[in-house]
Structure 1
């Protein structure tokens, strides 16, 4: 089987179900766990936006031109507190209205340790699965992306907004009481929350189980630019990583790469 890939699609269940978009097909990746697989890259990359042939991928699958012109590749996607839609300078106002000027959640998640993050309301629980969170809890609902980013920046002064991806892949996950931490945030940031006119949330913690039969004790990162042929026994999937007995591959990083899959 072969084709250009995109980030894996996921569905929350007793165990997360993963499918890899490959060309026009969706490959059931859970069915390949504990099987030997071989992924080969011959150098072809196509933009995940336009489909055009590109020499190098930017922002996980775009051409350089797209990276510097599309709203979805703007720096405010990584740092939403820098959203400039209100100034009338959004690269694509219609895209901004559809993706940024809609309700967002501020949440707590544990992939290795407690971190604060934000996501569109339509991306729960996909966002948590993509980052390999073992459990997560929404704590605030806000009207737009910029507001969520401004609040995240303040809370991140007390709680990290980064994931230790190596610990996440080794399943070194802290045992935290997210509801207690949420209540602590409500107390510590009461003035900030009041200034934005937000209400407390009483959501339940979502627990996420990944299809992994064995976690690595040491993480070896593999990528197709340096390793055009990656093969080994698929031991599991977590976040957007394939965990092989030979190393771990971030599939999202390789969006648009034309791969051949053998199993």
Structure 2
């Protein structure tokens, strides 16, 4: 992977004011410490990937649960058809200033790595190497019968072959899962495992599913190697994020929260910054470099 060049802090978006005093205070909390970073959907919204909650989130979006996915052929057809239509747009999203700032923090030794709730792979594409993808990744697909692992590209090719009638909308509007809403799923042929014909599922943690224990231990190990926690772009509504916060609290680690809106951890935070991660993280990186 090529190494991105260092970037100057991004200018605030039109209508936004970078809260300089809050950023300075957060930097004072973090300075001289090795930082673990926990990120959520808010860091990827500037890359065109919407979030379930917060500014600009869909008002009535109902996420797919693992129970529904496993129990219903129609639900799986809807999931795979919509996911296929949005997949290329989702994977074409590029890392933004927030992702690049975190890469710079890792490169210079300020950060010990990133624990992310996102499945878009943008931290890795920005150059970060110590990344725990807590909720999995859209890059791979699993067979639930035999355990075979496939690339998403291979599954996409199978969907194209068996569903040549399925055409992408002219103007793609992504949902938070990286899918779009298909006009119809009538006649859609589900992809299957080419080894055993078993059911396929993206290698992501659905709503109603637990983070695999081994993966959570990796996140705990990353946190244990650091002595401060920075939360960026997460409302912390999902329990996996709160579990990381609880581990940090048990050790008495300083906690800094950067998010546009209030979070479940604000009352425990040593410092909070209300702002876009694409604005605040580059400013923090400059303070700490």
Q: Given the two structures, how large is their TM-score scaled by the length of structure 1?
A: 0.27
Relative to total residues, which structure has the larger strand share, 1 or 2?
1
Relative to total residues, which structure has the larger helix share, 1 or 2?
2
Q: Given the two structures, how large is their TM-score scaled by the length of structure 2?
A: 0.25
